[in-house]
Amino acid sequence: MSRRNKHPHKSTSTTQERLTPQSNKPARGQRRYRQKTSWWSILLTGVGIVLVGLMAVFGFRFFSSLNTTATPSLSPATEDAVTPTIPGDNSTGDSSNLGQKTSSPWSNQEFVSTVLGHLAEKFNLSLDQLSKQVQSGLQIEDVAAQHGISVDQLHTIEINALQTGIDKLTSTNQMSQDEASIMMHDFKNKTQQKLNGVFTYELGGTPPIPTNATPTILPK
């Protein structure tokens, strides 16, 4: 018993020395763990920012495409409500592009017959009589003047005739109400000269060629 307790202090100090280096190992391990955790946090944060950015970009494109789809569009005839293109009628004066006959209601024979029939009725003529007068070399405004129809009255008659034709298409489900509204808005924005030229052309006449335009020959 006396031998075991001979150097109690030395035994205690030795034990402490042995424990000291071991107690430092957990501290170094914790620092390494914290460093790894810090790098992972930075990496994950960066990846998260990239993902959020990509989601924002694709989300914007998706909703933009939805808005584009929801916007009323005309097929046929948004940009060109008074086609056919008449010879030389590429002058400026409004926002329409007179160059796409296939996208116009004028390619619909029922529309053409309704519009021209209404016009002839207001002239107190048959459609055949009105067509012959125009084909003799007169413009629609010349025929109107011969029948005592003023310029303003002619414009009203033309717009009403066009409205009658559009109503015919909507009543037979050949055109939607949205298309009809846009179409009539386009008609009303045409200059009087262009409207007269279109009616002259549709009646078989030759509308005047603007001096600032290049003649365009179209098949009838």
Q: What is the pLDDT of residues 41-88, one digit of tens each?
A: 777 787 878 788 788 777 777 666 655 444 444 433 333 444 455 443
Domain ranges of the chain: 1-71, 101-202
Q: Are 131 and 204 contacting, i.e. CB atoms less than 8 angstroms apart?
A: yes
Q: Which long-range contacts (CB under 8 A, 24 or more apart) does 208-215 make?
A: 208/88, 208/139, 209/87, 209/88, 209/89, 210/88, 210/89, 210/91, 212/91, 213/88, 213/89, 213/90, 213/91, 214/88, 214/90, 215/87, 215/88
Instruction: For residue 18, count CB atoms less than 10 angstroms from its CB and return exposed for 0-12, middle for 13-18, buried for 19 or more.
Output: exposed
On the CB side of 20, how many CA atoms lie within 13 Å of its CA? 6
In total, the chain counts a number of residues equal to 220
Give the model confidence (pLDDT) of 52-61 as tens digits: 878 877 777 7
Q: Which two tokens stand for residue 92?
A: 């400026």
8 vs 127, which has greater pLDDT?
Answer: 127
Model confidence, pTM:
0.53
Confidence grade of residue 39 (pLDDT, cut at 50, 70, 90):
confident
Reported as type and span, the H/E element at residue 88 is none
Enter the DSSP assignment of 74.
-
Q: Is 195 left (phi over 0), alpha (psi -120 to 50) or beta?
A: alpha
